[in-house]
Amino acid sequence: MSLDVAVDETGVARCAWADSDSEYRRYHDEEWGTPLHGDRALFEKMSLEGFQAGLSWITILRKRPRFREAFAGFEPEAIAQFGDDDIERLMADAGIVRNRAKILATISNARVVAEMAEGELDELMWSFAPPADARPRPRSFAEIPATTPESKAMSKVLLARGFRFVGPTTMYALMQSAGMVDDHVEGCWRAASGSSAAARGDLSPSSRRPAGA
């Protein structure tokens, strides 16, 4: 089996990056590559991907519950009302990533979303999702790009709309996470399950073990 796939003690094969931590396993199995819709959900994803820049994603996952508390459940309308006191409160909160530029960007981005029509952010972001068969399934991590023409186009449009911390690399990570692209490598049980199962929400690693496991 490829070094880019790891098999756990129960026989479930996953993308190897997810094998180092139980929270990574859960995230890989239940979230990464699963189609995500909704303005609030995608705004949260955008915000957390922005906070992740320069850090490991596991750090963000572990802090995500506190992020949600500190940022009013990532409701754009609520965050749009944050002022100086909220900024200082967030800068003093050790449970999140205390980066002033990223905090200010999240508030600014919330104000942009708050001015958009309901469903507009979802429609806009998903408009950049390529066809499911746009490229072959990656056989290794080396075949997975850092950016794509679609992530560059998404970044350009979002920047023009006034969003911040939405560079093409960050937006490609969002596209992977939100299921706009499926980068589970060959041999991973999620790759065998297919995106249609992810969309239905009936993914089950225990029922997708490799033959003979």
114-135 pLDDT per residue, tens: 999 999 999 999 999 999 888 8
Q: Who wins on pLDDT, 82 or 21? A: 82
Whether 165 shows a pLDDT value over 80: the answer reads: yes
Domain borders along the chain are 5-190
37 labeled part of a ligand binding site: no
The residue annotated as part of the active site, out of 24, 32, 44, 49, is: 49
Task: Look at residue 3 in the predicted model and tell me its pLDDT.
Answer: 83
The residues, any chain, with a CB within 8 Å of residue 32's CB and separated by 6 or more, are 18, 176, 177, 184, 190
More confident: 196 or 105: 105
Residue 23 designated active-site: no
- Is 212 annotated as contributing to ligand binding? no
The dihedral through the CA atoms of 98, 125, 164, 17 has a sign that is: positive
Q: Kindly name the residue from 31, 57, 126, 186 that is annotated as catalytic.
A: 57
pLDDT digits (tens, 9 = 90+) for 21-41: 999 999 999 999 999 999 999
The confidence score (pLDDT) of residue 207 equals 40
Does pLDDT of 8 surpass 70? yes
Residue 27 known to be catalytic: yes
- Under the banding of pLDDT at 50, 70 and 90, the label for residue 150 is very high
First to last CA, the chain: 13
Of 153 and 201, the one with more pLDDT: 153
* 188 labelled ligand-binding: yes
Residue 210: pLDDT over 60: no
- Which residue among 27, 31, 75, 143 is the active-site one? 27
Q: Active site includes 57?
A: yes
Beta carbons within 10 angstroms of residue 9's beta carbon: 5
According to the CATH classification, is domain 5-190 in 1.10.340.30? yes
For 32-78, what is each residue's pLDDT tens digit? 999 999 999 999 999 999 999 889 999 999 999 999 999 999 999 99
pTM confidence score: 0.89
> Which H or E element spans position 7?
strand 5-7
Percentage of the chain exceeding pLDDT 90: 85
Q: Is 28 annotated as contributing to ligand binding?
A: yes
- What CA–CA distance (Å, rounded) separates 14 from 7? 6
